[in-house]
Amino acid sequence: MPCTLTAQHSRFPLAKPFRISRGVKTAADVIAVEIAEDGVFGRGEGVPYPRYGESVESALNAIEEVRPAIEAGADRSALMSLMPAGAARNAIDCALWDLEARKVGRNVADLIGAPAPRKMASALTIVIDAPERMAEAAAEVRKAPLLKIKVDANDPATQIRSVRAAAPEARLIVDPNESWDQALVEGMQDALVEAGVALLEQPVPVGADEWLENFKPAVPICADESVHTAEDLDVVARRYQVVNVKLDKSGGLTAGLELAQAARERGLGLMTGCMVSSSLSIAPALHVARMSDFVDLDGPIWLLEDLPGGVRDDGGVLIPPDLGFWGT
């Protein structure tokens, strides 16, 4: 049956700046898609990311190009060949999942054949700042089960030690966002072990990680920017021990589930991540998070105001959105 697709840019101011090695974010710019069919609506959200050559304008243009096909009834399977992986495809794919669930009166978990999302530990992010400020931020959430430390190449050992001292019990992920080089990764191994770091995420730039094929890390290394879809795994599996599935990279829940399953089949560890976004981006990602060793879905926690009924944080434990928010 023909449907109607609408897409728009939405901006969510942040409660405080989100600072990583490649810049500072003060608002989340997202693309919200709604697909309506016979009075039933499905919603999805994508976050265009400049690191991948995306912008709000380019994402909206990409959606416009496939609008005729979607409105003519193209399904999720067809969408995979109509669009490349990225934020635009993610928004449409997740809207199609939501629409299908509402049309048949079942939730997305039933459609997947998996348990419904439950509350789970999800990383709270400590952004880059002076070590004493990072320690203060960590002290405020020291009882959280998992913290993610954003660092750069400017004395990351001190930053990490400061957070560890303030939060001695939390599991730690360290994320340099591609800002390190081979020498720094090798030189940081003892400091990572000393601080009890559980995971090092994408330390070096994409295209400068070939040497990892012969490197034996003391702490598992997770591919983020280096992995987008299952097609990347032939190379990634030789260099990394864990992969970070983000729906904005994979281009939707359909491809995200495919990537997660393929990674598991190769014996790789699994992480679920997100961009800074509203809960409309996070609700679909929960279906990958249930499979994951590490969950990092605190994007909406940074917003000044999230969408009503979205996910909630309880001391580092993520509570799923209200019934009916997405996919239910």
Query: Which H/E stretch holds residue 73?
Result: none
- Cα distance between residue 74 and residue 108, in whole Å: 19
Gyration radius of the chain's alpha carbons: 19
- Would residue 143 show up in a list of annotated catalytic residues for this protein? no
Residue 303 gets which letter from DSSP?
B
Instruction: Let me know: does 280 contact 104? Beta carbons within 8 Å.
Output: no
**Which residue in 25, 119, 150, 249 is the catalytic one?**
150
Q: Following CA atoms 295, 152, 127, 119 in sequence, which dihedral angle do they give, to the nearest 10 degrees?
A: 0
What angle do helix axes 156-166 and 131-140 make, rounded to 10 degrees?
30
First CA to last CA across the chain, in angstroms?
21
Annotation says 150 is catalytic: yes
Burial class of 308 by CB neighbour count within 10 A (0 to 12, 13 to 18, 19+): exposed
Q: Which residue blocks in 151-213 are alpha helix, DSSP H?
A: 156-166, 182-187, 189-194
Of 16, 148, 246, 249, which residue is the catalytic one? 246
Catalytic residues: 150, 246
